[in-house]
Every structure is written in structure tokens, then in C-alpha cells.
Amino acid sequence: MGRSIVNDFTRKLELSRDDLVPAAISGTGAGASTKSSVRLAQVVLAGGSGSRLWPMSREQYPKQLIGVLGSDSLLQATVERMRDFSVQEHRTQSRPIIVCGEEHRFTTAEQLRASGIDARIVVEPARRDTAPALTLAAAAACADGEDAIIVAMPADHAIADVAAFQRAIACAARYAQDGAITTLGVLPTRPDSGFGYIKLGEVLHDGAHHIERFVEKPAAELAAQYLASGRYWWNSGIFVVRASVWLSTIKALQPEIYEACATAYAQGTSDGPFFRPGADAFRQSPSNSIDYAVMEPLGSDGGLAPGVVVPLDAGWSDLGSWDAVWNALEKDGDGNVARGRIVFEGTTSSFAHSEGRLVACVGVTNLVVVETDDAVLVADRSRVQDIKGLVSRIRAQRAPEADAHRKVRRPWGYYDSIDHGKRFQVKRIVVNPGGRLSLQLHHHRAEHWIVVSGTALVTRADEQFMLTENQSTFIQLGVTHRLENPGKLPLELIEVQSGSYLGEDDIVRFDDTYGRT
């Protein structure tokens, strides 16, 4: 059965390699393809956790979903970069394809909706790194049997010059049209050991090069040698390739990834904006990155699609640390960056972020200070790469701050745990207009609800009733209940929980609008 599904998937989605024109990629540049132009499809890989930007970034609300650089999240900024993009020789873009995890799908969908972006969201059943994620996206891009040039990018990078970025994408798309797997490379400005590198091969047109080889993050001394040689660029992690070329290449180099993803896609189902690949099949895929799975072997096999790197000079940053965030933002005369309620006195070359409380820095230099509702980070800017290890230690202590914020988003709105004790917890709950919590019960706690503003429709056992401002109700332990907002304004209420156990896993769901039962 599985083999039949894969074969059918291959027949429908893969185009013959004879239909491509890799010979057009020569030392004279990217000539016009002899084949008709194909669609462009933006692919955003949004499955990361971003633990190096803790405490703003958490497992349940990672850095691509937060406003690291401004009011928009990094995900929103990433999709916006391609909204008005067009290349004369290619047809209009398809809807953007976003690949994310189950735990982030509702927030991802809500942020895209808020930005007016109609996207297809492919929900990964499990984390398997970027190569399987891109394989699912490639399948989605040509699921109708028509090929597409996919422009794949991480959701958590910064680009200062969008026009320059689009020019680089346009150049890369011409090479991809002719059958190359194309990436964008960044001219290094320092010997950074936190980036992967690309060794340049033969010069092509418009400053592009054949790729001689990919190099993983080098030691500091080797990175300095790469910088001095002038033959290495940073790997941006942005790839432009025909969907059919990616599928045929991953099948040749990583057949286990291809077969697992092909089966998972063929077994997938749609649910509103979400596409859900077959979970059991996808979990059979090995975990591997685009670089390791495909880009590193390209130069060693002449039968594969050629690798091309196009220069990107657009103020790119991968925002992989607080130091990178400091670098990407405008500074004052002393080299400081302040976000929120910050006061600097005799402070230089520092970054401070506050989500509420006043943060004052006196007589310090090269410091990172990040304040959130439930955690404060103080770090030397030269040691910010160690934050990932710090988060691992916090998680090993079973502290909730490693994974979740005090304010937790849900598909119906959010709740904020504003106080707690040995046998009680107080939450501020906000339900969006039309939002409804699941029909549920708790084995270990009772709940008191007090409406602060808006209108609540309450289901309690066999009865239904409305509550408005300053009205309240009591949900006994073990009683089925549901909270809904039938109004046009947000519903805000205070919930007081009391009982022997107050964990979020004490929920038995019977019916849920969002498929969480």
C-alpha cells in the first residue's frame, strides 16, 4: 500500500529531468530558458524554537512569532517581503506556503490573517528539520501537477533592504528556472563561527558563482582564514529551486526522506487553511537539514542539479542571538539599544528590552538585559551563545519558564496567569469575538468566573446562560462546562481556580472547535 502511494505521488508531482535546462547555466550567465516560465511560490519554514532569544522566545511561542525588531512578528515581516514581488519572465506567485508545527499553527494562522495574507499552512506532525519540511512544501507547491519555483526562507531572519533582497531573488529565480538549486550567499564582514559558509566555484553572471562546497560552522581560526581568502560567503539559508528539481534531488540523495514525505503528503487531509500530512508516515522520515541532506553532496555528484550561489547584499541577519538583534537595530550615540521602559546612565554598547517594568542600567558595557513578565535575563554580549545551554538547564529543572510565557495564546484568545499559590491560581482570560473554549471538565479543580467586560455564553452541565459585566458563576469539580464569546467585542474575565492540582493537563475535552480533542 505504501509503495503504491509513493509511486502515484511520483507520477503526479515529479517532472522529468529531461524537461529542465541545466546546460543553460554556464560561465556566460543565466540565459533564458527554452521552456515556458513557471509560477513562483514563497515557502516559509517556521518550525524553529529560537532558544537563544530566551526569555522572549519560548518553546510554545518561538522567536518567529514575536516582535523582535518591531511591532510585526518575524513571521509577518518574512511573508511581507514577497507580497509585491514579481519577475517579468515568471507568472504570478501562488499563495505562500508556511510550514510549522502543530503547537504553533493557530498563532501562525492568526498572525497571517491579521496581516491580510491568505496562506496555505502545512502542519508538521513532528520536528524533522528543514529537509523534510521543504520536501512537504515542494509537494504542496506542485500538487496540481504544475511545476513551481519555490523561494524557501526561514521565518526568523531580518532583511534591512527589501528591494535589494527582491533583486537577488529575481536573479536566483532565473538560475532556478534553468534547473539549478540556488541559494543566496552573504559577503562576510567578520570571522563569525556562528554561520555556515559556502566556498565559491566558477564565476557566472551577475556576481553569481557555482557552489564548490558547503562548509558547516567553522572554528574561529578557520573562519578568519575563510574571511581572508575572499572565497567564502556566509550561508543565508535561503533557497530558490524548482519544486520538481528539489523532489528529484531529495529522492536521489535521501530516499528515506523522500519516501516518508511522499507517503505523508499523499495521505494528508485539509482542514480550513491547514494541510495535515499523514502523521505516522512523516514520523518515519530521518531528521536532516537542507545543507547536510542536499547541498553538501551536490558538488560530489555530477549527475545532480548544479548548485549556484547568488550574492545577497541587503542587510541580512539570522537573528540567532541577542548580539545579532543588537547589531540589527539602530543605536544611540553610546552604542546602546533600548526597547520599552529603559534608562541608561554611563552605559555603552548594551541592549536592554523591557516588556513592562522600568529597567535601569548604570555604568555597564557590552550587556544584554531582557525583562519579561516571569523572567529576567542578564548576560555579557560576548556570551550570548551560551543562552541555549542555560535554557536546557532551566528545562532540566522542570521550570515552566523554559517552554511557556505567563501569557499563553490559544486559538480562541489567551490567558495570563496573574497569581498562584499552593491550592489556587488566578488567570485573566480574554476570548476573541466568536471564540469558544472546548466542552471540558477537570478532575482536580473547581473554577470561579467573573466577567470584567463583554458577554459570556456559559454551558454548565445541562444548562446554558449568559453573563455580562460584574456577573459571575461557579464551575464545580467534575462538571462539564464551556465558555463562549457570542459578542462582537473581546470577552474579558477573571478565573479563580482552586483544588489539589492546577496543571493544564487536567483537562478532559469532549468537543472542540479547533480539533484538539
> Cα–Cα distance between 199 and 210 in angstroms, integer?
9
Helix residue spans in 142-193 (DSSP H): 162-177
> Cα–Cα distance between 326 and 344 in angstroms, integer?
15
Question: What's the CATH code, domain 407-511?
Answer: 2.60.120.10
> Pairing between strand 274-276 and 481-484?
unpaired
Alpha-carbon distances of 350 from 249, 270, 369, rounded to whole Å: 45, 47, 8
Residues 294 and 130 sit within 8 Å (Cβ to Cβ): no
Residues 64 and 45 sit within 8 Å (Cβ to Cβ): no
> Cα–Cα distance between 318 and 108 in angstroms, integer?
20
**Cα radius of gyration rounded to whole Å, the chain:** 25
What is the predicted pLDDT for the residue at 10?
55
Domain ranges within the chain, ordered by starting residue: 2-317, 322-396, 407-511
> Cα–Cα distance between 60 and 10 in angstroms, integer?
35
> Cα–Cα distance between 144 and 146 in angstroms, integer?
6
What is the predicted pLDDT for the residue at 30?
44
> Pairing between strand 29-30 and 25-26?
antiparallel
The per-type count for the chain, helices as H runs and strands as E runs, is 13, 33
* Chain centroid, CA 154 distance in Å: 6
Instruction: Report CA dihedral (235, 241, 243, 249) to the nearest 10 degrees.
Output: -70
Please give the backbone phi and psi of residue 389, each rounded to the nearest 5 degrees, phi first.
-65, -35
Q: Which three cell numbers stand for residue 348?
A: 555603552
For the chain, how many residues are written? Answer: 517
Helix residue spans in 425-512 (DSSP H): none
What is the amino acid identity at position 40? L
Element at 367 (helix H, strand E): strand 367-371
Burial class (CB in 10 A: 0-12, 13-18, 19+), 14: buried
Place of cell 470561579: 448
Residues 72 and 125 sit within 8 Å (Cβ to Cβ): no
What is the third-level CATH fold of 2-317? Spore Coat Polysaccharide Biosynthesis Protein SpsA; Chain A (3.90.550)
Residue in 308, 240, 309 with CA at minimum distance from that of residue 22: 308
Residue in 283, 247, 262, 250 with CA at minimum distance from that of residue 2: 262
**Taking the chain (517 residues) in consecutive chunks of 10 residues, what is each chunk's mean pLDDT?**
50 45 36 58 88 92 92 94 72 82 91 92 95 96 89 95 94 94 94 89 91 88 92 95 95 96 95 93 96 82 81 93 94 97 98 96 98 96 94 93 90 93 95 96 96 97 96 96 96 96 91 83
Residues 136 and 262 sit within 8 Å (Cβ to Cβ): no
Residues 82 and 96 sit within 8 Å (Cβ to Cβ): yes
> Cα–Cα distance between 192 and 190 in angstroms, integer?
6
What is the predicted pLDDT for the residue at 84?
76
SS3 484: strand
Alpha-carbon distances of 165 from 25, 85, 172, 314, 472, rounded to whole Å: 22, 10, 11, 6, 54
Place of cell 479547533: 514
Q: What is the DSSP letter of 58?
A: B
Please give the backbone phi and psi of residue 295, each rounded to the nearest 5 degrees, phi first.
-70, -40
Q: Whole-model pTM?
A: 0.85
Instruction: Report CA dihedral (445, 490, 401, 320) to the nearest 10 degrees.
Output: 160
Q: What is the largest CA-CA distance in the chain?
A: 76
Residues 423 and 474 sit within 8 Å (Cβ to Cβ): no
Please give the backbone phi and psi of residue 118, each rounded to the nearest 5 degrees, phi first.
-95, 105
